[in-house]
Structure 1
């Protein structure tokens, strides 16, 4: 995992001890002008692993943008052991339009990896990003938020069957790890299958900076860097309690059975007990109401922010906790 020498990409290289801020062309507009993404490569003077930090694969998911920018430009990398590749905005067209998907044919960039030189526009963009800056990495942190109208507590999604991926996930130090390989075409799955052990960090909601979550994520990045030796500190974090939600754990999106206005009774990160009312849905006159009941005791990982629902819309993401984890969470919340 230890590397020496220059970091190379199609079009240039970054020598040891050098930092480059690159506007890297991944496509062209209808006018033939280049579509460029910002990339910062910091190559340490000392050998070590290559870390890849990515954000805004969905263009309206902004919390991770600030995490990656802060690591790239505000941290002191004088004693960096290894190489740091920071891509704060993968989906520049979506970022400029402030929408989730690529405006071109509404494609999802995060279902297009590892990409193709001769495929769709999204797959061509993904290919340029992946081959030059993701695949050369030893491990990766891919930052996301919930989609518009919902919010997620900070947690990690990772394929813990992979020893390398599990190491990254645990080093990040979140309370919750949701286990799974992820859908085909996602950056974390495709990178991990190609030996760049990558996890997804979910945090908060779209269209905003949430400082508390950003600071917690930065502490997680520092912990991972300490675990892999990029920063010679003892900052590897233990979050106090941790639960890994795997295939044997009960988990579900609770959905509205009626349309109306939602009154959530809990926030993301709260413990909800079996049989308790998670939220109430009412009509405009408050004459008709429907209560959504927790089918098991668990943790609210994601909750609705936009209080308007159609039948079938998700209102929260509930995951099961074992007894010891419930006790630890209760102690923390009390």
Structure 2
């Protein structure tokens, strides 16, 4: 936390008690027009941590956009202690095209951080975002969804070997935390490397606003704000059960060995037992069925939504649960699961 409570970025500053909505230039189009990202900076009158909330690093991942907008514009932040940097759409070109990657050479903005000013267009954009709006922060929440055609239960991805990240991930209050350092270039990975603990929140599917997931994600933000004293509340949520999936847990993406039309028998978030049929792949005549069974007892963190596959396409993301957690989940779930989406 800086002794200077004024938030500064290249081109401006936001004093305590002030809110600014800006469109910040990070690149240019083929016509030389600016590519600008929307940023809302809310600087509370009281000192406290500086926090970023970001979404749509992949342009078609929309749920997080609404999470960030509601925090910025619908929450009563008159008691805010600290500063919020709200970036609902990081990948503006991808958002406008409604596609995952930057249309410029199909590059992934979320593999381009912390960026480089004399490199690719994606890394130049990433550098301007990172240096101006990530680097001044104390920690961050980065919102994502599954890629198109698949859906995730709400869960957190975090490097739990980092004490600051572990505190943040647990404070968010998800049922599932997947422990991983993350690949180079990912926003949470690169921010954490320079001392800004950051987690990724995964929820739902691309091209959708899913109200239940948005509300659940907002509850996590509220819990984080309570943990770090950003608002006058002390309610850090407990989701009823929580598990950290690390290298000790079995986990796998189950892939199709045959092409065809998929009948998925379980929802995201469902508990399946070893040997349970997860899905069936059929041909158009339904006379050549291939069944996919669970290789171990676990939780379906992600499942296929688009019901057609080639051989090798992912069908579901299955993670192992420890026995005490498995018993709790089993007691809470309906027959098809998905009690918390």
Give the match for residue 246 of structure 1: 246
- Secondary structure (helix, strand or coil) at the match of 2:291 reads strand
Give the 3 Å change call, closer, same or farther, for CA 271–3 of structure 1 in structure 2: farther
Would the aligned equivalents of 1:269 and 1:299 in 2 still touch at CA under 8 Å?
A: yes
1:333 Cα offset (Å): 1.2
1:131 paired with 2:131, answer: yes
| CA RMSD, 1 decimal | 0.7
1:142 paired with 2:152, answer: no
CA distance in 2, matches of 1:113, 1:257: 35
1:3 Cα offset (Å): 4.7
Would the aligned equivalents of 1:4 and 1:47 in 2 still touch at CA under 8 Å?
A: no
Give the match for residue 201 of structure 1: 201
1:86 paired with 2:93, answer: no
Give the match for residue 13 of structure 2: 13
1:331 Cα offset (Å): 1.8
Give the match for residue 42 of structure 1: 42
CA distance in 2, matches of 1:4, 1:302: 43
Q: Which runs of 5+ in 1 are unaligned?
A: none
CA distance in 1, matches of 2:228, 2:268: 31
CA distance in 1, matches of 2:311, 2:118: 41
1:167 Cα offset (Å): 0.6
Q: Deviations over 1:295-321 (max 9, x none)?
A: 000000000000000001010000000
Q: Which runs of 5+ in 2 are unaligned?
A: 335-341
Give the match for residue 280 of structure 1: 280
Q: Deviations over 1:164-185 (max 9, x none)?
A: 0001100000000000111110
CA distance in 2, matches of 1:86, 1:304: 31
Would the aligned equivalents of 1:2 and 1:82 in 2 still touch at CA under 8 Å?
A: no
Q: Give the number of equivalent residue pairs.
A: 334
Give the match for residue 56 of structure 1: 56
Would the aligned equivalents of 1:278 and 1:292 in 2 still touch at CA under 8 Å?
A: yes
CA distance in 2, matches of 1:131, 1:256: 42
Would the aligned equivalents of 1:4 and 1:48 in 2 still touch at CA under 8 Å?
A: no
Q: Deviations over 1:82-115 (max 9, x none)?
A: 0000000000000000000000000000000000
Give the 3 Å change call, closer, same or farther, for CA 236–3 of structure 1 in structure 2: farther
1:80 Cα offset (Å): 0.4
Instruction: With the length of structure 2 as denominator, give the TM-score of the two structures.
Output: 0.97
Would the aligned equivalents of 1:4 and 1:46 in 2 still touch at CA under 8 Å?
A: no
Give the 3 Å change call, closer, same or farther, for CA 177–79 of structure 1 in structure 2: same
CA distance in 1, matches of 2:293, 2:332: 24
Give the match for residue 214 of structure 2: 214
1:244 Cα offset (Å): 0.2
CA distance in 1, matches of 2:117, 2:282: 51
1:232 Cα offset (Å): 1.7
Q: Deviations over 1:68-89 (max 9, x none)?
A: 0000111111110000000000
Give the match for residue 171 of structure 2: 171
Give the match for residue 106 of structure 1: 106
1:324 paired with 2:320, answer: no
Give the match for residue 304 of structure 2: 304
- Secondary structure (helix, strand or coil) at the match of 1:125 reads helix
1:4 Cα offset (Å): 4.1
1:2 Cα offset (Å): 5.9
1:135 Cα offset (Å): 1.2
Q: Which moved more, 1:226-235 or 1:207-216?
A: 226-235
Would the aligned equivalents of 1:3 and 1:50 in 2 still touch at CA under 8 Å?
A: no
